[in-house]
Amino acid sequence: MDSISTSASTLRSFPQLLPINSDPSPSEPSSPRSSHLPSSPSSDSVSSLPSVSSSFFFSSAAASPPHPHPEAEQIAKDSTHGLVIPSLTLPTALRIPTPYGQTLGDLKLLVLGSKDIGKGFVSRLLLEQNEEVVEVGPWEDSAAGRVIRASTDWLEHRDAHGLESFEPTRNVEIVELPEYDSTSNVHLISTLKSIVQSPFYTVSNVLDPAHRPSSVLAGLVSSPLTPLYTALIFLSPSSSSVLDNLIIDALGPQIPIIVLPRLVDASQNAKLSSFRPSSIIALRAGLFHSPETISVLRSEATDRFLRWREVEKSVDDIHMSQRNDTSHHHRDPDGKPWSKAKWEAEWLPSLSQDVAKRLREGTITERGTRRLKHYDHVRFDDSPRICMNNTRYDPLYFPSLVMFSMSLLGPLRARMRRTLSRIFEIASDTHVRVAVIGGFCIGVGLSTMKRLGKKTNQWEKEQKADDIFVDNPQEGDLVIPIMGPSGAGKSTFINILLGEERASVGHDLKSHTAQIHHYIFPDPHRRVVLVDTPGFDDTNIDDREILRRIAVWLARSYNAEMKLAGVIYLHEITQTRMLGTARKNLDLFYKLCGPNAAKNIVLTTTKWDEVVGEVGVRREMQLREEHWKDIIARGSTMARFERTRVSAQAIIKSILAREAINAVQIQSELVDIDKLLAETAAGQTLRYSLKDLLEVQKRMAAQLKVKGGEEVRDQIIENDNRIRALLAQIKALDIPLPRKFMRWLGFVKA
Ligand SMILES: Nc1nc2c(ncn2[C@@H]2O[C@H](COP(=O)(O)OP(=O)(O)O)[C@@H](O)[C@H]2O)c(=O)[nH]1
Ligand SMILES: [Mg+2]
């Protein structure tokens, strides 16, 4: 019913709209996507029409009214039918496309919402009374869900007799995905994933697998005719459920998600599109009136696709190497044999998490088979196709058992909810109510008495006696943390800025910077506190402890209402690639700061005196366009520290000119939400990266043991020590089970 009323009301709202040709497979147009539509006639009289438009009357497709009988339709398709007398087939005039509509390109939207949320209104609001839309097709069923296609332009078409006709471009596609409810389970997510990923295979099959992500590739894939879905519009209920969050978690890395109404929970924001309209009207304005918004969405979709492609490629590589350990034919683009160890070092810690996850999923489509499987699809059928979900459901297969158990979680929770509501029913008895209220009051009284002493936040329990902090923190103080890998030049930056050797430089055994030291920068208006932080991967102190020190320092300063003027991130321009340590530091830095702090971040390159010629400039460009791209797009700036006081002062000056912020992500996570350190985004990222490292060390241990002999004995011992240290850190970053349970029940914010 919904579909009928939508089409009907759409038609009503377009008085000039042409009757819709319901033929689902219009013949491929021969002309390019440009329209030379003559000005729309204002009256139906033949004499008032411009001469060129006489061809309208001879067209058989879009410009003719629907034919009541199938036979008639058959005749209509025959071009000789165009020879009927014009006045008898006078059509309504075509709507004139707007210049923007003509250049919009393909817009493919997925709409997802839980049961009862009424998804139909989104497509109605997007298409109705939209001046860019010149034609709306009927609702159709597809494998992905109900689809409606609309056009913002016409295609000029010339048949064998040289007669023109105009066909709708049908370049806007809105797919209503199947609705779900709280009893839906993991199958839903894998189905959604395969829908979102179906065009990924189409694109990936036509690309050279050896070609790594580059700006040229990104530019091509994000063109206006890209087959990728532009965005997923997620209609979330007022209180988002665990399943809603799971969906955002799973699909956020695959497609730009736009949540309506805008999500209140800021912790999910990093996974969403940067286009966050406040209403459907704002969404429509962004999609149909703003070329910038569309290009942002397309490039976000492309980034996600390219990342997916990297993960798939690595998974394939691992499979190839497992199948054929002495792989002669498998070589990396430089012609050297592929080395797993090199690959691991290169992708630690970020990408390898995704690869490891994909390997665990067990749904690998290996390179050879995937080619074969999708070849015919690419060659003969360019329409998106859902990839079959390969998950195995052998009841004795361990992942199946896990999946099965997970599918029970929804009903289990529903059951608990029912039990609780039955308890409430019993409580409606007066006597029981009096007793319950009495008990409740006593409980509240006791806990208030306990809390009256002092409420201790989780982060306060992480403090240690030898932590150093500002003596008398004040509300007006401005903090500038300086972060980056060890040896990036943080201490040198501070010394040169202050004009004296205050911070100890280089690596003495005590690793001076491992403690967090602060220095006051002279400023007449307020106190500016520079914070010298240790980098992750300090030789003497483990990463968890470094995270603890930075996190506690920042939480204390936020708690004391000190503000953040900005954050300086230092990176050596001498680094040839963003590998291992550099990558880990950058990932953790992003998670510590969160996307909302981007405008106050200065990404600074150091050691320019150590690079020659154009090398530094080229690397700087690569940082801007690749590794720092997202954060720069959110407002971060780049600077060079040239080991001079002037260049250091310029950086501080540019930070002090910005509006200070109250808190970066980890500060609000610890102080406002009262999370455990292990629950923060940075804590979780560190845990993942430590686990990946553990895998590498374990594999190394196995290799050393196979090798055997006296000479590797010391190495084995050292390796075992490293494994033990990693296990201890990972354990310290585990979220305790009772706390997990409370989070699951929603008593503690996840
Ligand atoms: N050539 C050169 N060396 C630098 C520069 N900045 C720092 N260094 C050296 O890099 C090493 C590490 O510097 P340090 O400030 O301790 O780095 P931190 O670990 O980030 O505090 C020291 O030996 C510094 O002398 C620079 O701009 N150019
Ligand atoms: Mg230092």
Residue pLDDT, tens place only, 591-649:
999 999 999 999 999 999 999 889 999 999 999 999 999 999 999 999 999 999 999 99
Say if residue 346's pLDDT is above 90: no
- The pLDDT, as a whole number, for residue 57 is 31
Q: Token pair of 179, please? A: 């609705």
Its sign, for the CA torsion 300, 305, 306, 310, is positive
The domain ranges of the chain are 2-176, 186-325+337-380, 398-453, 469-674, 679-745
Asked which of 267-276, 660-669, 688-697 is least confident by mean pLDDT, the reply is: 267-276
**Alpha-carbon distances of 166 from 18, 56, 621, rounded to whole Å:** 11, 8, 46
Distance in angstroms between the alpha carbons of the first and the last residue of the chain: 40
Q: For residue 245, give both structure tokens.
A: 């969050």
Which stretch of DSSP H or E encloses residue 721? helix 713-732
- Over residues 88-94, mean pLDDT: 54
**Ligand 2 center to 718 CA (angstroms):** 26
Omega prior to 349 cis, within 30 of 0: yes
Does the structure show a pLDDT above 80 at 705? yes
- Asked if residue 748 has pLDDT above 50, the reply is yes
- Enclosing H/E stretch for 563: strand 563-564
Choose the weakest-confidence range: 264-273, 377-386, 394-403, 610-619: 377-386
Closest CA to 384 of 193, 144, 172: 144
- Bridge partners for 57 per DSSP: none
Q: Tokens representing 350?
A: 């970020």
Confidence of residue 405 (pLDDT cuts 50, 70, 90): low
Please list the alpha-helical segments (H only) found in 454-542.
Answer: 490-498
Report the pLDDT value the prediction gives residue 48, as an integer from 0 to 100: 34
The ligand whose atoms approach the alpha carbon of 605 most closely is: 1
**C-beta of 489 in contact with ligand 1 (< 6 A):** yes
**How far is it, in rounded angstroms, from Cα 408 to Cα 637?**
48
According to the model, what pLDDT value does residue 294 have? 93
Residue 124 has pLDDT above 60, yes or no: yes
Provide the β-strand partners of residue 609: none
Q: Residues lining ligand 2 (ion), CB within 5 A?
A: 490-491, 513
- Residue ranges of E strands in 192-330: 231-235, 257-260
Q: If you ran DSSP here, which 8-state letter would residue 114 be given?
A: B
- Is residue 501 within 6 Å of ligand 1 at its C-beta? no
pLDDT of residue 481: 97
State whether the beta carbon of 604 lies less than 6 angstroms from ligand 1. Answer: no
What pLDDT score was predicted for residue 732? 94
Assign 240 a pLDDT band (cuts: 50, 70, 90): low
Say yes or no: CB of residue 610 within 6 Å of ligand 1: yes
User: Torsions phi, psi of 244, nearest 5?
Assistant: -60, -45
> Is the predicted pLDDT of residue 440 greater than 60, yes or no?
yes
pLDDT at position 266 is 61
Residue 28 sits at φ, ψ, to 5 deg, of -65, 125
Q: Which amino acid is at 480?
A: I
Compute φ and ψ for 485, nearest 5 degrees.
-65, 160
The enclosing H or E element of 426 equals helix 398-426
Residues 6+ apart with CB under 8 A from 500: none
| pLDDT given at position 642 | 94
Q: What is the pLDDT of residue 128?
A: 85
Q: What is the pLDDT of residues 94-109, one digit of tens each?
A: 788 888 888 899 999 9
* Percentage of the residues of the chain whose pLDDT score is greater than 70: 69
Cα–Cα distance measured from residue 516 to residue 557, given in angstroms and rounded to the nearest whole number = 13
Find out whether 685 and 587 touch, Cβ atoms under 8 Å: yes
Measured CA distances, 186 to 144, 226, 255, 409 (Å): 17, 29, 18, 10
Among 317-331, 379-393, 696-710, top mean pLDDT goes to 696-710
CA distances from 122 to 117, 281, 300 (A): 11, 10, 22
The alpha carbons of the chain give a radius of gyration, in whole angstroms, of 31
Lowest mean pLDDT segment, chosen from 136-140, 265-269, 324-328, 428-432: 324-328
Percentage of residues in the chain with pLDDT exceeding 90? 35
Give ∠ CA 18-24-30 in degrees, rounded to 5. 80
Instruction: Note the pLDDT tens digit of each residue in 471-482.
Output: 888 888 999 999
User: 340-347 vs 291-323: helix axis angle to the nearest 10?
Assistant: 150
Does the CB atom of residue 488 touch ligand 1 within 6 A?
yes
- Residue 502: is its pLDDT beyond 60? yes
272's tokens? 């969403």
Say if residue 371 is exposed, middle or buried (CB neighbours under 10 Å; 0-12, 13-18, 19+).
middle
Domain 469-674 class in CATH: alpha beta
* pLDDT at residue 333 is higher than 60: no
Least confident of 274-283, 297-306, 583-592, 641-650: 274-283
Mean pLDDT for the stretch of residues 650-656: 96
3-state SS assignment for residue 381: coil
Provide the angle, in degrees to the nearest 10, between the axes of the packed helices 120-127 and 2-13.
10
Which residues, in sequence order, are CB contacts of 245 under 8 Å at separation 6+? 268, 750
Residue 429's alpha-carbon distances to 423, 424, 434, 435, 530, in angstroms, are: 11, 9, 9, 10, 63
Ligand having the closest approach to the CA of 489: 1
Q: How far apart are CA 285 and CA 293, in angstroms?
A: 9
Distance (Å, whole) CA 476 – CA 307: 43
Q: Which atom of ligand 1 is nearest to the CA of 532?
A: 21
Which residues are 260's β-sheet partners? 235
Residue 710: partners with Cβ closer than 8 Å, 6 or more residues away:
none
Confidence of residue 713 (pLDDT cuts 50, 70, 90): confident
Q: Find the mean pLDDT for residues 373-396.
A: 34
Query: So what's the pLDDT on residue 254?
Result: 92
506 Cβ inside 6 Å of ligand 1: yes
Strand duo 154-158 + 164-168: pairing: antiparallel
Which of 483, 490, 492, when mutated, tests ligand 1's pocket best, judged by the most ligand atoms within 8 Å of its CB? 492
Q: What pLDDT was estimated at residue 351?
A: 59
Band of residue 1 on the pLDDT scale cut at 50, 70, 90:
very low
Binding site membership of 534 for ligand 1 (Cβ less than 6 Å): no
Q: Measured in angstroms, how far is the CA atom of residue 256 from the centroid of ligand 2? A: 39
Spatial distance between the Cα atoms of 24 and 27, rounded to a whole number of angstroms:
10
pLDDT digits (tens, 9 = 90+) for 25-71: 334 343 444 444 444 433 333 333 333 333 333 333 333 333 444 44
Backbone angles phi, psi at 175, to 5 degrees: -105, 120
Do residues 61 and 133 touch, judged by C-beta distance below 8 A? no
pLDDT beyond 70 at 390: no
Q: Which residues lie closer than 8 Å to 633 by C-beta, 6 or more apart?
A: 274
- pLDDT reported for residue 238: 65
For 242, 269, 437, the CA distances from 245, given in Å and listed in that order, are 5, 11, 35
How many alpha carbons fall within 13 Å on the CB side of residue 350? 19
Across all residues in the chain, what is the average pLDDT?
A: 76
According to the model, what pLDDT value does residue 7 have?
Answer: 37
Ligand 1 atom closest to 534 (CA): 19
Distance between CA atoms of residues 378 and 373, nearest Å: 10
Separation of alpha carbons 257 and 276, rounded Å: 9
Residue 585, amino acid? N
Which of 482, 493, 495, 505 has most ligand 1 atoms within 8 Å of CB, for mutation? Answer: 505
In whole angstroms, how far apart are CA 530 and each of 177, 364, 563, 659? 51, 49, 12, 17
Asked if 655 contacts 563 with a C-beta cutoff of 8 angstroms, the reply is: no
Check pocket membership of 647 for ligand 1, CB cut-off 6 A. no
